[in-house]
């Protein structure tokens, strides 16, 4: 798996072929899209909507959008946040980790999560957090299997959706 930052043009646009791949990735996970409400119609996710969503993410200088490729194919995306808006929260966050539904259960999600954790470790970070939306039982099982522990249950900051906050230490104690 190769993990690279999302390339954008000098005008901060996503190259059209990549935007097509990203749209297909987002649209393939209809179940998550319906749960999250991130797009108006989970059955009709359009390139301009994905471009707008990613541009909004990238407007925060602490956000990094990472693309995972395996054998030349886009297999996943991770969106990370180096600093949480709450100054009392010292940890970086994984805001989104999505794997192509066609390659699930093949280790791509574990590998992508591990690479993201390695990036944080390399930056000297000692733990990472994320939030799983209520009702996303598959994601909760995935993250807890990777050693993430629930630490809170609260609404997310962006839309007030109920979720479980999980944390994983990145260094041995």
Rounded distance between C-alpha atoms, residue 48 and residue 45, angstroms: 9
Residue 58 in contact with residue 12, Cβ under 8 Å? yes
Q: What are the Cα distances from residue 10, in Å, to 7, 79, 119? A: 10, 21, 25
Instruction: State pLDDT tens for residues 133-168.
Output: 999 999 999 999 999 999 999 999 888 999 999 999
Q: What are the Cα distances from residue 158, in Å, to 33, 65, 139, 161, 166? A: 16, 18, 19, 8, 17
User: How much is the average pLDDT of 38-58?
Assistant: 95
Q: pTM (2 decimals)? A: 0.94
Residue 11's pLDDT band, with cuts at 50, 70 and 90, is confident
Q: What pLDDT sits at residue 172?
A: 63
User: 2-169: what fold?
Assistant: Aminopeptidase (3.40.630)
């Amino acid at each position: 798996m190769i993990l690279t930052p999302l390339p954008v043009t000098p005008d901060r646009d996503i190259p059209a072929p990549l935007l097509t791949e990203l749209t297909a990735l987002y649209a393939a996970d209809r179940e998550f899209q319906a749960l999250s409400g991130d797009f108006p119609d989970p059955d009709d996710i359009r390139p301009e909507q994905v471009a707008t969503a990613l541009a909004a993410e990238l407007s925060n200088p602490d956000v990094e959008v990472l693309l995972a490729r395996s054998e030349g194919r886009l297999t996943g995306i991770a969106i990370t946040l180096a600093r949480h808006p709450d100054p009392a929260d010292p940890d970086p966050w994984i805001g989104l980790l999505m794997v192509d539904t066609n390659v699930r259960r093949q280790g791509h999600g574990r590998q992508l999560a591990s690479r993201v954790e390695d990036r944080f470790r390399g930056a000297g970070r000692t733990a990472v957090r994320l939030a799983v939306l209520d009702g996303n039982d598959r994601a909760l099982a995935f993250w807890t299997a990777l050693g993430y522990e629930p630490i809170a249950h609260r609404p997310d900051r962006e839309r007030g959706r109920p979720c479980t906050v999980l944390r994983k230490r990145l260094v041995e104690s």
